[in-house]
Structure 1
Amino acid sequence: MKTKIRFTSLALSLMLVSGAAFADLKIGVSMSQFDDTWLTYLRESMDQKAKAMPDGVKLQFEDARSDVVKQLSQVESFVSQKVDAIIVNPVDTAATRKITDAAVKAGIPLVYVNRRPDDLNLPKGVITVASNDLEAGQMQMKYLAEKMQGKGDIVILLGDLANNSTTNRTKGVKEVLAKYPNIKIEQEQTGIWQRDKGMTLVNDWLTQGRKFDAVVANNDEMAIGASMALEQAGVKKGSVLIAGVDGTPDGLRAVKKGAMAVSVFQDAKGQAVGSIDAAVKMAKHEPVEQAVWVPYRLITPDNVDQFK
């Protein structure tokens, strides 16, 4: 009888230890930068998701400050701390190999969120949670092309050139333009995702006397900057069509009041939930898809009130 009690106690104790391990999962999160508007919503949504989980998931956020070397150092620190999983929003999508190698060598699950590495042949234990940026560019340009009745000139505000979101959104725009030979690209330059940079570029183009019928921006912040430059120059609202991507609160307000013609909703909450869920499942050795896609949705004046 005593032996049975001893075994039962041991089994119960092992179950409690196992449960405690899963109840205290620690996930290291390296964000490319904290001061990006949309990435702030992503980070906040990740924090909310972790706090709402019954397993008591703890996130350790680090700001890479757009520095590839700093981000790799953060990941190496997570490895030395023996975290249960790592989530990375990469600074440079072409420079993720060392991050991947560090996590894989340590046997720690790795989730890339929002930005997919350029190297799509990721090893076992490494997954991505993102949205298809090619579709975002296609959606915004198709809407503009129809509004422009297939003719006119556009300018393109590019995001960070080290980010394949910039490359793919712009590629999507140009794929649509291939079907509209009478729509020409007047200018394209990088505003590195920033409102003030978008404003400066559009102001410079206006000062140079350049004419254009639409501004296609890789994100809402640059689109809003373009709108501000046009307003300051006395250009009638709506006479130059402006498109963005993200569907941030400021972007939604701009569409609602007519300062932007269209945006494309990038679901920060969806990507946050997807990345945390995947990291937790991988830490528990549960199966996950290697590529989790969170769909984009078009935002127009007709449906803007659906997005909160």
Structure 2
Amino acid sequence: MRKSLKILCLFCVLLLMCFSAFARGGKEEPAGKGLVFYLSPNQFDEFQTTASKLIREYVEGAGYELREMVAQSGHAEDVALQLSQLDDAITQNPVAIIIAACDATAVADSIERARGEGIPIIAFDRTITETEVDFTSVAGCKKIGILAGGEIARLLKEKHGEVKGMILDIMGDPGDMYTVLIEEGFQEVMADYPNVKISTKIAQGWEASNAANIADDWLIAYPDTDLIFSHAEHLAAAIVSILETQAYNAGDIIMVSTAGMPMGLDLVREG
């Protein structure tokens, strides 16, 4: 996944170079190429912390100044804060704004204003569909959901001899198309298995404590749950703590997550 993340970041920088060349009309560029903003949704998710490092590395390596703004309040993403940050970035007339949107719908009006003022917008990691952007660099999120669905079906068949059982499905914030598209792919696959009962819950703001509370309440009511599918590793880590508190042993409940970041790989190694 880290290799894919590097590729996504590199695409962003290559596009910045194209925007800059277009704006110069072929003239020789100055020593400093200009200011770029990166609007990050959070820094509690390993994917996002790694993305921030790589974007800074590539953007500054290409000769631009990078300023990062993080839309995080406490342990949750803050849509209102990101809107304020986006408006602030627009007033500084950067050569481009890279944004991983907390809420793809909420940012649409500000993105339209930025593009109206000639500021290119690059949607990174999270798709924005409510308005046009200049470039989108995202992972194949629906494909992630399809792959997860196929693996989950395999795991349930391995456990029961057929694809059946109960799944607790914990999404991230539905304002983020990353989790929405994963869910779309997952549900598309699981529609072929009528003997699987899926309960979908939402961890608002991608906050780990929300996922933990969901799992805690759910497992009290449904202790024989077969599998928990969380849409990010930091959610999975919080859920594992709940399983341990409720005296589940490793393997009692199958855990599936996305992204393949180090935190998730550590959980796999621990069983």
Q: Same fold (TM over 0.5)?
A: yes
Q: In terms of Rg, which structure is larger? A: 1
Q: Is the 8 A contact 2:219 2:225 kept in 1?
A: no
C-alpha displacement of 1:254: 0.7
Pick from 216, 230, 236: which aligns with 1:223?
A: 236
* TM-score normalized by the length of structure 1: 0.70
Correspondence for 1:188: 200
User: 1 CA distance for matches of 2:96 and 2:39?
Assistant: 11
Amino acid at match of 2:126: R
- The number of equivalent residue pairs is 236
Give, in whole Å, the separation in 1 of the partners of 2:79 and 2:217.
31
1:127 aligns with 2:135: yes
Matching residue of 2:104? 93
Match of 2:252 in 1: 239
User: Take 1:79 and 1:194, find their aligned partners in 2: how far apart are those partners?
Assistant: 28
Partners of 1:115 and 1:254 lie apart in 2 by 25
Equivalent position amino acid for 1:29 in 2: Y
Unaligned runs of 5+ in 2: 1-26, 158-162
User: Secondary structure at the residue paired with 2:255?
Assistant: strand
Identical columns (%): 24
**Which residue is equivalent to 2:188?**
175
Q: Which amino acid aligns with 1:249?
A: P
The equivalent position to 1:62 in structure 2, one of 63, 69, 72, is 69
- Which of residues 48, 61, 66 in structure 1 aligns to 2:57? 48
Could you tell me how far apart the structure 1 residues matched to 2:103 and 2:142 are? 18
Deviation at 1:80, TM superposition (A): 2.5
Q: What SS is found at the alignment partner of 2:36?
A: strand
Matches within 5 A, 1:241-280: 241-258=254-271
Normalising to structure 2: TM-score of the pair?
0.79
Q: Unaligned 5+ residue runs, structure 1?
A: 1-16, 259-308
Aligned AA (2:224): K
SS at match of 1:20: coil
- Contact 1:197–1:225 (CA under 8 A) maintained in structure 2: no
| 1-structure distance, mates of 2:228, 2:80 | 34
Summarize the Cα distance change of 1:106–1:208 in structure 2 as closer, same or farther, 3 Å threshold: same
Distance 2:235 2:43 in 1: 17
Q: CA RMSD in A?
A: 2.2
1:297 maps to which residue?
none
The 1:131/1:235 distance shift into structure 2, 3 A limit, reads same
Matched, 1:143 2:156: no
Given that 1:141 and 1:216 are in contact with CA atoms closer than 8 Å, whether structure 2 keeps it comes out as: no
Partner SS state of residue 136, structure 2 = strand
- Tell me if the contact between 2:112 and 2:132 (Cα under 8 Å) persists in the aligned partners: no
Q: Report the alpha carbon displacement of residue 38 of structure 1 after superposing the two structures with TM.
A: 2.3
User: Partners in 1 of 2:97 and 2:208 — Cα distance?
Assistant: 31
1:173-198 C-alpha deviation (Å, 9 max, x unpaired): 1111111111111x321123333322
Cα deviation code 1:53-91 (max 9, x no counterpart)? 3xx221011123344443333333333322111111112
SS at match of 1:19: coil
* Aligned residue number for residue 92 of structure 2: 81
Secondary structure, aligned partner of 1:198: helix
Pairing 1:19–2:19 present: no
1:16-62 CA-partner distances (Å, limit 9, x unpaired): x83325x4332012222334432122111111222333xx2210111
| Aligned CA distance change for structure 1 residues 48 and 240 (closer, same or farther; 3 Å) | same
Once residues 241 and 152 of structure 2 are traced to their aligned partners in structure 1, the CA distance between those partners, rounded to angstroms, is: 19
Which residue does the alignment assign to 1:158?
Answer: 171
Q: Which runs of 4+ in 1 moved over 4 A?
A: none
Q: 1:10 maps to what in 2?
A: none
What SS class does the counterpart of residue 18 from structure 1 fall into?
A: coil
1:199 counterpart letter in structure 2: A
How far does residue 161 in structure 1 lie from its aligned partner after superposition?
2.2
The amino acid across from 1:79 in the alignment is I
Aligned match of 1:202: 215
State the secondary structure of the residue aligned to 2:239: helix
Partner of 1:298: none
